[in-house]
Structure formats: structure tokens, C-alpha cells
Chain A
Amino acid sequence: MRFPKTLSGLATFLLAGGLAASSVIAQEPVPVSIAVYPPNAQINTIRDRQSIVVQATYADGITRDVTKAATFAFANPAFVKFENHTMYPVADGKTELKVDFGGKSVVVPVEVAQATADRTISFKLDVMPVFMKAGCNTGSCHGAARGKDGFRLSLFGFDPDGDHYRLTREIPGRRINLALPAESLMVEKSTGVVPHTGGKRYEPNSELNQTLIRWLEAGAPNDQGEVPKVLAVELYPPNAVLDGEGSTQQITVRAKYSDGTDRDVTSLAFFMTNNDTSAAVSQQGLVTAGKRGEAFLMARYETHTVGSHFITLPKGFQYNAPQLPENNYVDHLVNEKLKRLRINPSELCTDEEFVRRAFLDIVGVLPTVEEYTKFMSNADPKKRDALVDELLGRKEFVEMWVMKWAELLQIRTNQQITTKPMLRYYEWLQERVAKNMPMDQMVRELLSAKGGTFANAATNYYQIERDTLKTSENVAQVFMGMRIQCAQCHNHPFDRWTMDDYYSFAAFFSQIGRKQGEDPREIIIFNAGGGEVAHPVGGRQMKPKLLGGAVPDVAGKDRREVMATWLASKENPYFAKNLANIVWSHFFGQGIIDQVDDVRVSNPPSNAELLDELGKKFTEYNYDFKKLVRDICTSRIYQLSTKTNETNALDDRNFSHATLRRIRSEVLLDCITLTTQTKDKFGGLPLGSRAVQIADGNTSTYFLTTFGRATRDSVCSCEVKMEPNLSQALHLLNGDTVNSKLQQGGLIDLRLKEGKTPPQIIEEMYLRTLTRKPTEKELAALNGVLVNEKDPKPVLEDVFWSLLNSREFVFNH
């Protein structure tokens, strides 16, 4: 690639409008560093090779693929043939490759072994990747549960032995022709020689086809014994910042095997992008920049999916990062990301906005007029921090998080759980959150719970869901944020989880015993000490294996205890980060990984450094999430305004400004109830309780259901619905919540009797609902309505009604 000439960038500049033409670069800039990928090369056998990518980084953060412009020199050129930036073996030995560009140089150690030896063809290592790369075993083709057009392959290759059988033995003589390998049906179909519903997948002389033919020529063998496993897949470069539409970056992919070898699998990896308008990728691994934005580039090889973070900026974009005040690490890490994206965060929100936001988020109620006045008149520059501390000490903070945990633990009555154990379970949770028990300890207690569902109510966790597989799915989803359901039937298509992982994890839950207690409503959960999980393909008994972790010794132990000890510990890389993400999401309306329970390689965090740090802090705080909430709420980032500037108007993932969030149903109802000075009665709770305090997921009201209260029927974060709909509008306009409460509370009447003037009353109603005083304009308009009426009461009631119906009221902003 030549460097982009200035003219090609000019069009974009003009469109960008107002950007200084002086930013046009007159000569080739000098990089601040170059990187060569992979950082070392190991070439084994004549079949192996290694492609090289050189990436230069410039002072403004832009990266360029300079592979074609760089110069390459081997210390000893005898071992390697270098063509198209790819090394091929010539003779055994060690040497170094020196790469020079723009005055910078990097040395890459190179080792060649068995340079003239061939390696025998392997069905699993050589042939199976062809089916993935060519798309044969995807769900829409032969990977479908019933295959396609009479021929089935396992989805994404989860069952290589089965695939070998179907290719070689099913309908003998049809799919392969060992006498004339090139005339095998599997070859002719995929090269388009005979009609194929899936069309021509590759050229006859392509590497993919040659691999198949070589395997057929060898007699279509299956692998004998164990073959090396792919331990890791590396994708290079690990990140890139592309300079304008049309810029390109080649990717190189390397697989590392359990026998210590590696292979360049760039031609065999399947490439994907999560945003092809910003960075598209070809199946040869060439990334082409598009519109300004971020993209996550992924390569799938075998069961591994790996990714690389790409940013595309408008060509020649000039940006000077502002000096920003930072309250703590949250601000620093968010700002660092924003700098890379050339975004400036919004200004701080006003005190009025902050006090409302903090009350709604931390304690789920609106500030009273007194609380508002106290905060506003406080001159202490640290008053926001002080308010956060004060709110964290209130009982409503505990109640908010008991409700959120109750959703994750699905606390509700059902056929197995009557009211009594449900309440016990709720109390168990409440007690722990109230005394601020470290989260790891609480989760360990929960997951290893034994005993009666009355006596040790945490055991209800295993009554709410009694199915072994579903239980292990729930545990993965709630405590690690992962949806592993896909892997029940096939290897996860968008993540690393295989069926082996799935059933090995489920094996931790296969020995849960249940028996009747003395009270017919009580069930006793115990360790049955027996019971296994079998893999559906081949029926192997699966040894309990931690997700992404080790195979622990479970002999003679309660498997759940072993699992819980690992799960809620720092050995588990997902636990702290997942809980931190759930906490974050509560305060920002979206997770750093979003949805919070959809953690997977192909759904990367919007700010990985931030999530890592939050997880690390949470661990250091001994899993005290109150401390984490304090960090978040005292950060500048949490206190930003919703008002955007020209750089961040379109950012909706990087927390560069606050976003409008509809208030969740329970909190909204509580706000209406409190501001109207009325009381609610919910099933099983005394009059005057708040909706946040409802223990049972099955208890609801029309208001709560219409505004999206979770039924707790599943652990999915999607249970809580925040979308507006027509029923909500109708209910607030005409329904019995707002209208009846206005009457029941009688607040207007009371204030008039107290001798308050209409403007005073209006101001109070504004403060009660919107946490601000009415503007001059609003007061004038409302007075205009009032002067025409003899009786101010109905008008004032209508003002109150309007405030409760207003957009400003139903959104946290």
C-alpha cells in the first residue's frame, strides 16, 4: 500500500466542513514506533509458513499497515524463503528477521525445523478447518440440525468423528471416491463442477480444495489416537486506528497447539466484524476502513474466537485532547478511551440534576423539598461526595439492591415454592445485603446451600430451578454473565464454549439430592453423592470442569461447594467483573458489556480497561459493592450532563455524556406515591410499603406490569422492560394511579388551606416531582391559566397532574 496521497483525502475534508486545510500532510510522516506481528516465528515442516504484518504507529495515534513499504533482512538468509511477506522453510536453523521502516527497526526471532519433512494429513487438524472456512458447517448449510439436501455436518465442527463417518461411510461411495479423489462428490459440489445448492465455495486449485484432495489421496483417514489440541489462537495486530475511508490493515492469525507447535492459519480462519460500516473484513483477513466508528474484528478458528479492536477516524482528523479534571480511576479510564476516539466528554451536570439523579439511582426515591433545599444551599465543594455517602447509608439503598438481587435469584412463588419458603428466601437475601456481607461470601453460601428450604432458605435457589442443565445455565448467566445455552446442542457459534465445557460444568449440579421435610411445604436439599452428566454425542461421562478453568478434584466432596468456592473467588476471571458490570449498568442504563448477561468474545466490552479495573477494585474491596457504588457515583463521568457537544453527540457506548433513562416501574410508582403523599397496598405487605419492597415476583399491579416489572420467570436481564408503550401513556393520562392519588393525597387542598399562594404551591409541586423550580416562562404560562379561573384548586391539581405526566418526571436525566 502506498501512503494515501493528500488529494484522495481532500473530498472527505471538504465534507467535514470547516476543518483546517492546513492539516493536510505534506510529506510522509515519521512513525513513533513500529510493531511486527507475530513477534516471533516458528516454522515446522514444509507445510508450514508464517506471514508477517508490520504496523506503524504515529504521534497522533493513527496506525498504518506498512508491510509493503518496510524493508526486510534476515541475519542468515539460508533458512527461509521470503515471498509476499511470508516466510517459507528452506533449511533447519535459527536466525533473525530485521524489519526497518521510517527509521525504526524491529527484530523478529525465526526458527525453522524439519524444513524438508512433510507432515501427515490430519482429518481434525487439516480437513475440519476447511468446512468452517468454506462455510459448509454453518447452521444455514450442512450444519443445520438435519443437514441440508441430505448431507449433514456437525455445526461448526463440534463432532469431527461424526463428520468423518458421514463423509466416508454414510451412503457408501456417494461422497468420496478414493480411486479418483478429484471426482469425489464432495469435491465436485464444493468447486461448482456439479450443481450445488450452496454454490461454488472455492476454486479447484485453492488451498482448501487441495487439502481435501490430499486427504482423499491418503485414503480419507480419520486420526488415530489423540491429536494436538488448539490451545490458543492469536490475532494480529491487537488493535488499530485507521486513517479514513479506504485505509486497510492486513490481519494475521496464528494457532498454537498443545504439542508446542504453531501454524499460520490466516487462510483458514473465518473472519467477522461487528460493524462492517466502520471496518469491513475480507475472508483473506484484509480490513478496510469505512465510516468513522469502532469495530471489533474477529477470527474464528476451531472452537476459538479471538478479536481485535479497530477504530476508524475521518482522514487526517485533527484533535487536541483537552485537559480534563479526574476524580478517580473511572474518569481516567473513560477519558483515555474518549481520547482514542477523539471525543470530548460533556460538562458536569447541575446540582439540581445531580441531586435528582443520585436519589433516584442510589435510593430509588425523589429528594424531598427539605433534602433538595439542604443540598442546594450547601456551599461545600465536596457536597456531591457527601450526598453519595449519606445516601449509601440509607435503608432504601439496601432495598434497591435486594430487589435487583431478587430478580437475579428469581425470588417468586411457583409450584415448588409456597409463600413461606419464598419469604424466608427473601429474608435470607435481605439480611445479607443489609449487613453488607461480601458478595463472594453470599454467593458461596447460596450456591453450596444445604438443608431445609425453611431452615436454610438459600436452598430455595435449587427449588426455583430443579433441572440440572438449566441450573448450570442460570449460574453461568447470573454470576459470570454468560449465556452458554447454545453449547447444550452444539459448540457455541459466537464464543469459546464447546459442548464439553457445557456438560462438564453441568456435572457440578448433577448430585443435588432433594427429599421431603417434616413440614409438607419444606424440601431438604442435600448432597446425594452420586449422579453424572453424560455427553449427548458418544455418551461420555463428563468430569466436572470449571468454565474456562481447571478440572478440580471432587472425589468425596460436595461438587457444588467446590464449584462455589471457585466461582466466587478471584481465581474466576469473570465473577468480579460481571458483578461490577451489573452495578455499573444500574447507574448508566447500559453495561460496559451490554447486555450485562451476554458476555462473549464477540460482544466485547466498550471499555475493557475500565471493566478490568472495576473488577480489580471490587476484588480489592473484598467484594464490598457499596465501595464500588461510591467510586462510580463520585466519578465525574457519572455526574456528566445529558447535554452533548459536537464531538460526543452520536456516542452512545462510551459514557461521554449522561443518557436519559426511563425510571423503572417500581421506582416510578414509589415516586408517584411519595410525591402525592399517598400509600400503596401490595399483597403480603403492610399499607404504605414501597413497590421496591415487594418480595414475590408473582405479586404485581397493573401499573407495575405495564411499566415492565420483572416477573422473575427467568434470570435474563431482559425481564425488566424499559420500553415505552401506549398502555403506559393511557394509564398515566386516564388511569387510576395518577388521578386517584391526586385525590387521595389531597395535597393541593391542604396547601390552599394552609394559606399558600398558587405560585408557592406550583413551586412546591415542581420541586416534589422534577426537583427544580419552575422557570420564569413556565410560571408566566401557568399564571396565565390561573387568572381566568375563580377556583385555583382544579387548575393547581391539573398542574400537579401534568407534572406527573411530564417527560421530565418519568425520565432520570
Chain B
Amino acid sequence: MEMRPSRRDFLHVGFCGGIGLTLADYFALKAKADIKKYESKEGTAKSVIFIYLPGGAAHQETWDPKPYAPIEYRGPMNSIQTNVSGVFLNEMLPKTAQIANKLTICRSMTHGEAAHERGTHNMFTGYRPSPALQFPSMGSVVSHEFGPRKNLPPYVCIPGQPNEFAGTGYLSSSFAPFSLGSDPAAGGFTVRDLKLPGGVDDTRFTRRRTILDTVNDHFTKKEKSDSLDAVDTFYQRAYGLVSSVDAREAFNIDAEPSPIRDAYGRNTAGQRMLMARRLVESGVRFVTLTYGGWDMHDNINGSIRSQVPAFDQAYSQLITDLDGRGLLKDTLVCIASEFGRTPKINATAGRDHWPKVFSVVFAGGGMKPGIVYGSSNSTASEPEEDALNVEDWATTLYHCLGINADKELMAPGDRPIEICDGGKVRKELLA
């Protein structure tokens, strides 16, 4: 689909009757002329791999250990030196520690939402939740701004759309993510329905499409609706996918040599990240994947020990692999979670929700490698330097993608809404 404006752009919330389309069009156009417009052009990050750790990953037990804090803050785990001098990570991240010189670790992320769904909303949309408006996810915005590349869906979720905020919000449902539908780590994994069914060759498929166009013609000339347009869009995308061997092959994880699959790890972390690499390599613009459950209210020591090693292996392999293929400079790999966890270990040896400070990590795609940006205070309870808010974080991410986040998109009711409201690009993060 081309970037023609969605019909929704012209629709109003509540009601707006026309005294003929003349006036309605005039208003819509006027509103369009008034909105802040910027051309989106591919930036330093041609693709994004968004690794989301649902539940709220403890910053202390991952990217921001406090080895010198009192034990109740430090927690039961140790930290290790990375290949960047003076930078320490949790002891369960030894492989990641060896690629730290390729990472951009931000230890001063902060927002005010301590409920899972609200924090998640922040980190998927760049906005605080609003009762009046559903905001689009960053993946859907990228889909809206750039559209598909090489016949592949612009926005893919592995294994599926992780939460309601990863969707299209007020944008048309044509910008929705494509969900793989099953887990690449599962045995016999395939993405369904990519290949023509048995007995239907390309010639016959072409005939089917011709007949389908004939049948659709009558209805699509008669009817107008957003969801009708969206169905059309998805059929066009499906045709692109079906007719392109390269596009279909992107989803075929079995095409990866066994040693590579082993190197990533034969588990959900490894195979999802490997799948993400295949997808961005083939042309997908925005891949969202989730790993694990990080809501560690109890026994954080045990949970980290069981969950982090697979992540460590997969993530370090992903960065190394992307780098080896020359893709890291064009691919922005982001790690985020809805919030961090409380400074003190609680009564059940876990940590509770803590949005006041936590860590996010970037790699590649135009970010400055080998730095730690911002810091939390000595007990990891508040940002100490360069507090990074959600708006600036998202705006910087959009900037790398070549999207000016000050651009306004049209929400229902002809309401122009900034992609991200009031954020600034943190130049210090950029290479």
C-alpha cells in the first residue's frame, strides 16, 4: 500500500455531518495544512529489534548493579567487570559483558507509572496512558511512516502481539503488526499459510486473483469503510508475501545452519532473537519480541539465575552476529521493560515495582557504542545524572529511524497528535 491518507483521517469522532463533501473536505484539508508535517526518511537505523522484557526487569540484577551498596539494596547477587573499563553488569551476564563495548547502556530511565499496563503503555507508545485516546505503538508508527519493504510486513511480533499497546491505537488497523502465531523455539515451527496450497500453482493463483478482483469490484465500488480498506491492504501484503520467495524464506528458521541455531540457544530467547535477525536482514522494519517473565516479587536470586543465562547467550550472539554480517550499523537493537524494581530487597527476597529509575539498552543503528549514559544514585532508587524520560527515549529512537517525532498524525476527530509529545533527541546517545 502506498502512503495515501487513511479514510479515518477524514472521519470525526462523534459526528460530523456534511453539508456536502465540499465543506468536510475543506476542513479536513485545512486541518491537514495546520498540522506539523515532516518527511520521514530512513535514518541511521534501517530496522529495529525491540526486545521487551515483560513484568519489569530489575535494573539492579541486570544492567545497573550496585556492588558497593548495603546488602539490602545490593541484593544477593554479584557483579562482573565488562570489556568497558569501570562498567559492571550482573554476574549472570558474562557473555554480554564481553560485547559491552558495542552497547549503549542507559541507567537513568525514569517515569511515574508503577502499574504493569501503564508502564507497558509508556514503553510501547512513548506516551502516558490517556482515557480519551488509544496511542499507536512505535512499530505501528514505523509501519505508517514507511510501509512494507521487500514485500515483507513492516512490523512483526514474535511470537505474537505481546499486549494491547503494541497495536495500532488511533491509526488504521492496516498498520497492525503481523504475528508469527507460534514460537520459533517450538519444534516443527512454521509460519502458517505463506505457501500456496497443494494443487495451486502460480498460474492458477494468478487466475484466482483475477477472478477475485472481478468479484470484489462490485462491492468495493459500492462501499466505503476503514475496515474494508484495511482488508484490501492486507490482501495486497499477502500477495506480496506469497509471490516473493525471498520474503517467505525470511520466516523459514530451519534455513539457518544448525551451529547458528545452537549458538543462539535452542530456547525462546535464542530462537526468537535469531528469527528477529532473519527478519530484519530480509527487510522487516520493526520486530518486537518478548522474552521471559520479569515480575520478580519473590526470590529474585533464583529467578534471575534461571532466566538470564539464555538471554545472555542469545543477546550477545545476536549483537555479534549482526555485527559480523555488517548489519549492526543499520539495525537498532533496543531492550526495554515497563519499569525497574524497588531499591530494597523485600520480605519475600524479591523486589517490587519501581518506575523511578531503571535501565534501557541500545545497540547499533547509529547509537554511540561502549558508553553508559546517565546514572542512578548509590541505591539505584533515583536518577542521578541525565535522567532519561519516556518522551526523550522514544524521540531519540524515532530520530535514529529517520522519523521526526514532532510530526503530527491525524487521530479521530481530526485531532492532530504528535508522534511523541515534547520529546528531545538526546544527542549524547548518538554516534
Contact = CB atoms under 8 A, between A and B. Distances in A.
B234 A725 contact: yes
Nearest to A649: B18
Contacts of B195: 734
Interface stretch (B235-243, B285-293, B320-328, B343-351): B235-243
Nearest to B19: A16
B220 interface: yes
Contacts of A647: 17-19
Contacts of B428: none
Contact of A727 (B17, B20, B181): B181
Interface in A707-740: 718, 722-731, 733-736, 739
Given A293-B16, A735-B192, A15 B22 contact: yes
B176 A291 contact: no
A21 interface: no
Interface stretch (B77-85, B200-208, B310-318): B200-208
Given A277-B415, A723-B173, A727-B179, A652 B11 contact: yes
A807 interface: yes
Most chain B CB neighbours (cut-off 10 Å) among A702, A706, A801: A801
Contact of A805 (B114, B212, B356): B212
A341 B176 contact: no
Interface in A627-667: 642-644, 646-654, 659-660, 662
Interface stretch (A139-147, A300-308, A327-335, A511-519): A139-147
Nearest to A292: B16
Given A723-B230, A734-B196, A778-B214, A15 B23 contact: yes
B86 interface: no
Given A314-B23, A729-B234, A660 B218 contact: no
B215 interface: yes
B21 A730 contact: no
A274 B14 CA distance: 9
Given A274-B132, A291-B414, A15 B26 contact: yes
A799 interface: yes
B301 interface: no
A643 B221 CA distance: 11
B71 interface: no
Contacts of B20: 16-18, 646
B413 interface: yes
Nearest to B207: A798
A724 B234 contact: yes
Interface in A769-804: 775, 777-778, 781-782, 785, 794-795, 798-799, 801-803
A731 B238 CA distance: 9
A725 B173 contact: yes
Contacts of B237: 726, 729
A245 to B, nearest CB: 10
A811 interface: yes
A810 interface: yes
Nearest to B20: A646
Contacts of A292: 16-17, 19, 23, 27
Interface string B14-47: 1111111111101100010000000000000000
A739 B200 contact: yes
B227 interface: yes
A726 B204 CA distance: 22
Interface string B106-132: 000000101000000000000010011
A808 B192 contact: no
Interface in B211-264: 211-212, 214-220, 222-225, 227-228, 230-232, 234-235, 237-238, 241-242
A795 B21 CA distance: 42
A164 interface: no
Given A650-B24, A723-B176, A782-B211, A295 B194 contact: no
A699 B269 CA distance: 28
Given A730-B238, A734-B195, A660 B223 contact: yes
Contacts of A660: 223, 225, 227-228
Contact of A731 (B114, B192, B215): B192
Nearest to B27: A291
Contacts of A726: 153, 176, 178, 234, 237-238, 241
A440 interface: no
A785 B178 contact: no
Interface string A286-327: 000001111100000000000000000010010000000000
A813 interface: yes
Interface string A376-406: 0000000000000000000000000000000
Nearest to B155: A726
A693 interface: no
Interface in B169-196: 173-174, 176, 178-179, 181, 192-196
Interface string A571-612: 000000000000000000000000000000010001000000
B12 interface: yes
Interface in A253-286: 274-275, 277-278
B10 interface: yes
Contacts of A735: 192-193, 197
Contact of A294 (B14, B164, B228, B235): B14
B228 A730 contact: no
A424 to B, nearest CB: 33
A806 B24 contact: no
A342 interface: yes
A729 B23 contact: no
Contacts of A731: 192-193
B193 A734 contact: yes
A734 B212 CA distance: 14
A293 B128 CA distance: 28
B214 to A, nearest CB: 5
B138 to A, nearest CB: 18
Residue among B208, B214, B234, B356 with the highest chain A CB neighbour number at 10 A: B214
21 contacts: A16-B19, A275-B12, A277-B414, A292-B27, A342-B17, A644-B224, A653-B15, A662-B227, A718-B164, A723-B230, A724-B227, A727-B178, A727-B193, A734-B196, A734-B197, A736-B197, A782-B211, A785-B207, A798-B207, A798-B211, A799-B211
Interface of B: 10-24, 26-27, 31, 112, 114, 128, 131-132, 153, 164, 168, 173-174, 176, 178-179, 181, 192-197, 200, 204, 207-208, 210-212, 214-220, 222-225, 227-228, 230-232, 234-235, 237-238, 241-242, 356, 413-415
- The 3 A-B residue pairs with the shortest CB-CB distance, nearest first, are A730-B193, A808-B219, A729-B234
